[in-house]
Amino acid sequence: MKYNWHRIFKSKNFFYYTKSNLNKFNNSNNIPCSLCKIIHPEMSLKKFNSIVKFISKNLRLKQKDSLLDFGSGNGSLLFFFIKKYNLRNNFSLEISPHLLQLQKKFIKKTKFFKTHQINTKLFNNFDSYSVNNSMCISVFQYFNNIRYFYNVLEFLIKVTKKNILIYDIKNSKTKKKYREQVRKRQKLTSSEFNKKYKNTPIRYYDKLFIKKYLFQLQKKYDFTFKFKKLPNTATDHKFGYCLIINKNEYIKF
């Protein structure tokens, strides 16, 4: 049986044992970092603080803003920003129904939506909502096809009033080096690595490819965009980049 990203994300075991450790997190001094550490075992509090500082700075988050998190996972970052900025009317969009149920136990002031790796019907039903800022963290590499990439990017631009941050887009120019880095990190042989990721490929994007599509979208929506390097504290900062989109009517010069 093929075991693809879609099946993994829907699995009850997705993100390992997040649910079984929820009580431990409730007693933790830093719940968001603890949650994040399940996904990224190498995460430290220093690294976590550096990354959230980068995200909040580029999203220009303000007190009582609203935030949409596309591909919110176990909710670690959304939970952090809601607490820090007293955010209201937030949105959590996630493919795993199990993680959404988990988020509902500790994330407040938020509407929860289940996404699908191919079906974009949800996007069409989102017309009645709008949000100040949107973020998408380390998700684009798992998209099933380019058409879904197009739909997600336009969806975020359409519903967001102010700023959008897409964090950690895997760079096609560093694909070979990144794959080798992951293989060594997991201590796999080349054949073991290829077998493990045969049905769960990572998608990589060239900046020029993204620019061309954004230029098309600028004919429909008023925004500017720029690419930024990942913070040096990010584990794979050499292999990815960030896309920052600002809606023009909210930019102050």
Contact 200, 3 (CB under 8 A): yes
Q: Considering the chain, what is the average pLDDT of its residues? A: 85
The pLDDT of residue 3 is 43
Domains of the chain, earliest start first: 5-250 (3.40.50.150)
The pLDDT of residue 27 is 47
The pLDDT of residue 165 is 98
Q: What are residue 237's phi and psi, to 5 degrees?
A: -65, -20
What is the DSSP code string of 181-225?
Answer: HHHHHTT--HHHHHHHTSSSPPP-B-HHHHHHHHHHHTTTS-EEE
What b/e readout covers 13-28, taking b as 16+ CB neighbours within 10 angstroms? ebbeebbebeeebeee
Contact 152, 136 (CB under 8 A): yes
Q: Is 252 helix (H, G, I), strand (E, B) or coil?
A: coil
The pLDDT of residue 189 is 94
Structure tokens at 177: 């080096």
Low-confidence ranges of the chain (pLDDT < 50): 1-3, 5, 15-17, 27-28, 251-253
CA distance 154 to 104: 27
What is the DSSP code string of 126-183?
Answer: TTT--EEEEEEES-GGG-SSHHHHHHHHHHHHHHEEEEEEEEEEEBGGGHHHHHHHHH
In the block, tokens 């879904």 appear at 148
pLDDT in tens, 11-29: 555 544 455 555 555 544 5
pTM (2 d.p.): 0.86
Q: Is 59 helix (H, G, I), strand (E, B) or coil?
A: helix
